Amino acid sequence: MSVLNEWAFVGVFLLLAPIFPILPMGAAWLFRPSKPNVIKNQTYECGVETIGDTWVQFRVQYYIYGLVFLVFDVEMVLLFPWAVAYNQLDLFAFGAGFLFIFLLADALIYAWKKDVLVWK
């Protein structure tokens, strides 16, 4: 019976969790003002009205730089607690941290050798 009590919290969470996003979205849909017109449906970007075709193809380098930035940003978030607890780490945690740094450095060197980071 105690196993069921332990899993009861998970069951209650699974039943109640969908309510939290659905309730505010339903309230916003119910109470929002709805007055559509032609001006509200026009494309608007940075205060400048669009002229001609508004579809623009971005270069792949923008996305690659964004991904590289994201990787190193996440690396700093994950390594900060590791660095704060540096004096209390055992050998396994120390090795895992350096393995993590090595893998990310290896990925950076690979991207560098493939000229992914060179703006053409």
User: In this model, does residue 30 exceed pLDDT 80?
Assistant: yes
pLDDT of residue 54: 67
Domain boundaries, the chain: 2-113
Q: Give the count of beta carbons closer than 10 Å to the beta carbon of residue 103.
A: 11
pLDDT of residue 84: 85
Q: Which residues pair with 48 in a beta bridge?
A: 45
CATH class of the domain defined by 2-113: mainly alpha
| pTM greater than 0.85 | no
One-letter amino acid at 37 equals N
